[in-house]
Copies of this chain bind each other. A is one copy, B any other.
Amino acid sequence: MTEQKATNVTWHDHAVTSEERSKLNGHKGAVLWFTGLSGCGKSTVANAVDRLLHDRGVHTYVLDGDNVRMGLNKNLGFSPEDRTENIRRIGEVGKLFADSGTIVTTAFISPYREDRDAVRALFSDGEFIEIYVNASLETCESRDPKGLYKKARAGEIKGFTGIDAPYEEPASGELELDSDSHGIEELANQVIAYLETKGFLAA
């Protein structure tokens, strides 16, 4: 638990409720939390899902690892504590977006189960949808779109997930996508089908 430093603060109800915002949008708010190794395709699938939803008139947004690290989390590095704080902040921002009635997708390695569960705990039942984009290390390393695995193997990057830092697979996530055997479009459609089945695409 992160300590609550500020005192003299109380939770304020918003004059416009979360339900009213959802009604205006015509669908519920939620966070689609993609997790997986670097190169597993989580950012690509997340953006594909976002595109499909947007084209259906769903109000969406994407929180992307690299983008958030250029802004909100620019003062964080890759130590275990900084990774934890990175995920914590993104979870809190995801919660604000979900509360605003947005379906927000996040695409972060988020390797530690404890960190992901801490984010899950921020949300009401069903609002947090954990999606494991499962690709073997072999597949990810062969893709290596940013050349990061090569650098990690050469010892130029320390603490790289899958090489010299752990990735803890979800124990009870909502969805697991097989990125070794299926293409982006198919995986994205699996996510859309889940949202439809669970009633997220209606207010």
Q: Which A residues form the contact surface with B (CB < 8 A)?
A: 2-6, 8-12, 14-16, 20-21, 24-25, 43, 47-48, 50-51, 54, 57, 59-67, 69-78, 82, 85, 89, 92-93, 95-97, 99-102, 122, 146, 148, 151, 157
Contact = CB atoms under 8 A, between A and B. Distances in A.
29 contacts: A2-B74, A3-B74, A3-B75, A5-B75, A6-B73, A6-B74, A6-B78, A8-B157, A9-B65, A9-B70, A10-B66, A11-B66, A12-B66, A15-B47, A15-B48, A16-B51, A16-B54, A16-B62, A21-B59, A21-B61, A24-B57, A25-B59, A61-B96, A61-B99, A71-B96, A72-B92, A75-B85, A93-B96, A97-B97
A72 B54 contact: no
The count of identical subunits is: 2
A12 B64 contact: yes
- Across the A-B interface, give the 7 residue pairs with the lowest CB-CB distance, nearest first: A15-B47, A72-B92, A61-B100, A5-B77, A9-B66, A71-B92, A6-B69
